[in-house]
């Protein structure tokens, strides 16, 4: 790709795009700094700021459409400058950012509104909205930054918000631990990301997107591979992909709106954004693409398999998210047209996964925070709106036409089959398999929750529907789940062309229609199987299961692996070092001191108090001095 990337300076309405970030940021600051004084109206301020940002985003979007060069940047101030290194606090509004801005602010707004109801009885609601706004601001920085450092700034910002929100109920040890785990695993990815930035600067002398894009062809393939792998590792961290996947399910310790917004719709797709944004790097190296595809495929299967075995409604959805983001990685890894497809899937996923989470939240809201799907059943009678909206999202995610999931997922499967060699079969089949598994676990979830006999305990006397402030966002998201896919699959790739390049389709190893049919077939098989198995509910106690299911229940031993390989040795190492520091290094110093003291104590015994001893030491000294002088005289030392 030899065309030069150039960002035009922002003018007109777009020069106000800093407000996109500023609105939620200021709101967050107000909410967090004012403290209890803002308790009464804080949540509304939170919603308002995001809503305003959404409106501004829409306006900016339209303004961008009117621009000839659809990439507009706004350098606010010099951020970091030293020697030849210089980055600005600069924002970039281009088609990719625009799409993300709309998703973040749009879905974000809905979830904010929903959270007003969901968090109504929580004493920390104002704090919650502060964090939430902070998250939106950071996420907008992530997607609006015009250089890698800005992206990283947002990247870490969302990490922080995620941490804060996961451990929002910090009094619960599990929540605190989960937050810490999320932050730490993200940090691993972040470290890789930041090293990638260093590498870019060392190689190219710039970290701006345009500069990198225009010079990436000068890099050797080894450097590109390294760069890509580092970025990928960063992306996997944020997106909960293999190998940094373990934190995402634990992140469900946070309040449900958090799961919906951060750990389903927006933040976790940051990795996808990063790879899409860096498409010029990933496209430049086919090995790199293979790695990305492999990560995507592997993760989508892992997520799906584990999702089948989980009984916690939010965990199932979390693993589902892992799996779906796997699809997106698969898409961005495939390159070419699939970049846009991944973004489409991302957007669609944003709608239906948010809907699913909010629905789950609504269920929990009505069920006294019960999350075990084995304890649900027959809820469709009690919470109709939730049931309907959840059902639509369910259908969307399993990819049943004509709902959005079909339009977003099926092209990725097709694209997988369009690879050049035998890997087409490998990844194509993996993608298909994933679709089937998705259908299975989502159907299981849906059936167990809303249908079949009621299995909840008697203390929940009146399962009830949520208040309108929660259901209205549900409805809106359901609409999105239904329609978004179909609406976007055409225009969005075209819209993204300036960023991601022109659509170049390869030859699929199978006919397009065959793949479509296969995809629908596996979906139906999966869903049907689940329906058959779970239409009558399930046992509320854990059942003995085969090795695979046991493994799946235990997250395929990923946590166990982490514990055995990183945590335990780490603790041991720490303890060993504490010992070493105290007894070794400090001990050495203290030892010197002690030996001086001991030597002193022993030497002072020579001062016996007997004058004759003193005389002896003098005579000895005299003898030695005279001997030494004579030795010098005779040249014995020479």
Q: Which of residues 583-622 bind another protein (CB under 8 A)?
A: 585-586, 589, 593, 596-597, 599-601, 603-605, 607-622
* Cα torsion through 462, 451, 111, 125, rounded to 10: 30
User: How near is the Cβ of 535 to another protein at its closest, in Å?
Assistant: 41
Among 1, 176, 487, 510, binds another protein (CB under 8 A): 176
80 binds another protein (CB under 8 A): yes
627 binds another protein (CB under 8 A): yes
User: How near is the Cβ of 139 to another protein at its closest, in Å?
Assistant: 13
d(CA 142, CA 154): 4
Which of 512, 369, 534 minimizes the C-alpha distance to 453? 534
Radius of gyration of the chain (CA): 31
The one segment of 301-309, 325-333, 357-365, 626-634 that binds another protein by CB under 8 A: 626-634
* Binding flags for another protein, 83-102, as an x/- string (CB under 8 A): xxx---x-------------
Provide the 10 A C-beta neighbour count for residue 177. Answer: 14
User: How near is the Cβ of 638 to another protein at its closest, in Å?
Assistant: 11
* Binding flags for another protein, 400-439, as an x/- string (CB under 8 A): ----------------------------------------
CB 342 within 8 A of CB 331: yes
User: How near is the Cβ of 320 to another protein at its closest, in Å?
Assistant: 27
The one segment of 207-215, 490-498, 509-517, 552-560 that binds another protein by CB under 8 A: 207-215
Which of 345, 340, 350, 303 minimizes the C-alpha distance to 328? 345
Sheet holding 85-93, edge to edge: 8-9, 72-82, 85-93
173 binds another protein (CB under 8 A): yes
CB 142 within 8 A of CB 155: yes
CB 509 within 8 A of CB 425: yes
Tokens of 516: 């479509």
Among 218, 421, 507, 539, binds another protein (CB under 8 A): 218
Q: Bridge-partner residues for 91, per DSSP?
A: 74, 145
DSSP code, position 208: B
Nearer to another protein by Cβ, of 457 and 617: the residue is 617
514 binds another protein (CB under 8 A): no
Nearer to another protein by Cβ, of 67 and 215: the residue is 215
CB 167 within 8 A of CB 178: yes
User: How near is the Cβ of 122 to another protein at its closest, in Å?
Assistant: 14
Nearer to another protein by Cβ, of 490 and 569: the residue is 569
d(CA 130, CA 124): 10
User: How near is the Cβ of 602 to another protein at its closest, in Å?
Assistant: 9
User: How near is the Cβ of 299 to another protein at its closest, in Å?
Assistant: 22
Interacting positions 106-165 with another protein (CB under 8 A): 149, 152-153, 155-157, 160, 163
Backbone angles phi, psi at 136, to 5 degrees: -60, -45
Backbone angles phi, psi at 451, to 5 degrees: -120, -175
Q: Burial code of 244-276, b = ≥16 C-beta within 10 A, e = fewer?
A: bbbbbbbbbbbbbbbbbbbbbbbbbbbbbbbbb
Tokens of 375: 């304890």
The one segment of 75-83, 114-122, 422-430, 550-558 that binds another protein by CB under 8 A: 75-83
565 binds another protein (CB under 8 A): no
Return the sign of the alpha-carbon dihedral for residues 142, 143, 149, 150: negative
User: How near is the Cβ of 290 to another protein at its closest, in Å?
Assistant: 23
User: How near is the Cβ of 131 to another protein at its closest, in Å?
Assistant: 11
Q: Bridge-partner residues for 72, per DSSP?
A: 8, 93
219 binds another protein (CB under 8 A): yes
d(CA 101, CA 560): 38
User: How near is the Cβ of 302 to another protein at its closest, in Å?
Assistant: 23
Nearer to another protein by Cβ, of 181 and 277: the residue is 181
533 binds another protein (CB under 8 A): no
* Binding flags for another protein, 26-65, as an x/- string (CB under 8 A): ------x--x------------------------------
Among 30, 197, 305, 356, binds another protein (CB under 8 A): 197
Strands (E), 55-138: 72-82, 85-93
d(CA 104, CA 112): 11
């Amino acid at each position: 790709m030899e065309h030069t990337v150039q960002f035009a300076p922002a003018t007109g309405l777009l020069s106000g795009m800093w407000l996109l970030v500023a609105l939620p940021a200021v709101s967050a600051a107000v909410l967090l700094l004012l403290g209890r004084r803002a308790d009464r109206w804080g949540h509304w301020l939170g919603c308002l700021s995001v809503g305003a940002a959404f409106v501004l985003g829409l306006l900016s979007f339209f303004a961008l459409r009117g621009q000839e060069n659809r990439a507009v940047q706004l350098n606010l101030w010099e951020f970091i400058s030293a020697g030849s290194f210089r980055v600005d606090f600069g924002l970039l509004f281009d088609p990719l950012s625009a799409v993300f801005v709309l998703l973040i602010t749009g879905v974000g707004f809905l979830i904010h509104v929903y959270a007003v109801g969901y968090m109504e009885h929580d004493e920390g609601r104002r704090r919650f909205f502060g964090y939430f706004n902070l998250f939106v601001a950071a996420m907008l920085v992530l997607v609006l930054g015009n250089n890698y450092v800005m992206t990283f700034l947002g990247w870490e910002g969302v990490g922080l918000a995620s941490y804060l929100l996961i451990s929002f109920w910090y009094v619960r040890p599990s929540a605190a631990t989960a937050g810490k785990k999320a932050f730490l695993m993200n940090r691993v990815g972040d470290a890789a990301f930041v090293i990638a930035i260093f590498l870019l600067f060392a190689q190219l002398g710039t970290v701006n997107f345009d500069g990198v894009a225009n010079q990436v062809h000068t890099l050797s393939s080894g450097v590109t591979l390294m760069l890509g792998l580092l970025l990928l590792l960063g992306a996997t961290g944020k997106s909960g992909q293999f190998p940094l996947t373990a934190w995402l399910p634990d992140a469900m310790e946070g309040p449900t709106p958090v799961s919906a917004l951060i750990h389903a719709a927006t933040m976790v797709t940051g990795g996808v954004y990063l790879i899409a944004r860096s498409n010029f790097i990933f496209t430049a190296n086919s090995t790199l693409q293979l790695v990305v595809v492999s990560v995507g495929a592997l993760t989508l299967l892992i997520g799906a398999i584990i999702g089948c075995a989980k009984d916690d409604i939010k965990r199932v959805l979390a693993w589902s998210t892992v799996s779906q983001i796997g699809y997106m990685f698969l898409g961005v890894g495939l390159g070419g047209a699939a970049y846009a497809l991944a973004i489409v899937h991302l957007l669609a996923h944003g709608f239906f996964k948010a809907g699913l989470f909010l629905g789950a939240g609504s269920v929990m809201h009505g069920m006294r925070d019960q999350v075990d799907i084995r304890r649900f059943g027959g809820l469709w009678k009690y919470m109709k709106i939730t049931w309907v909206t959840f059902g639509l999202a369910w259908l969307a995610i399993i990819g049943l036409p004509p709902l959005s999931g079909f339009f977003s997922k099926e092209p990725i499967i097709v694209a997988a089959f369009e690879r050049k060699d035998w890997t087409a079969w490998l990844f194509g089949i993996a993608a298909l398999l994933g679709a089937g598994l998705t259908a299975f676990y989502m159907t299981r979830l849906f059936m167990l929750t809303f249908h079949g006999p009621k299995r909840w305990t008697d203390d929940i006397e009146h399962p009830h529907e949520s208040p309108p402030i929660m259901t209205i966002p549900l409805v809106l998201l359901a609409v999105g789940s239904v329609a978004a896919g179909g609406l976007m699959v055409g225009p969005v790739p075209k819209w993204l062309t300036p960023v991601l390049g022109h659509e170049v389709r390869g030859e699929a190893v199978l006919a397009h229609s065959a793949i479509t049919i296969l995809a629908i077939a596996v979906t139906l098989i999966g869903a049907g199987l689940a329906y058959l198995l779970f239409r009558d509910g399930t046992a509320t106690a854990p059942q003995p299961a085969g090795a695979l299911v046991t493994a799946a229940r235990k997250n395929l031993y990923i946590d166990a692996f982490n514990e055995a390989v990183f945590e335990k040795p780490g603790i041991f190492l720490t303890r060993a070092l504490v010992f070493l520091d105290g007894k070794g290094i400090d001990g050495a110093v203290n030892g010197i001191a002690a030996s001086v003291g001991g030597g002193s104590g022993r030497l002072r015994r020579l001062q016996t108090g007997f004058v004759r001893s003193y005389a002896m030491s003098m005579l000895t000294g005299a003898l030695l001095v005279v001997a030494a002088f004579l030795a010098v005289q005779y040249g014995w030392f020479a």
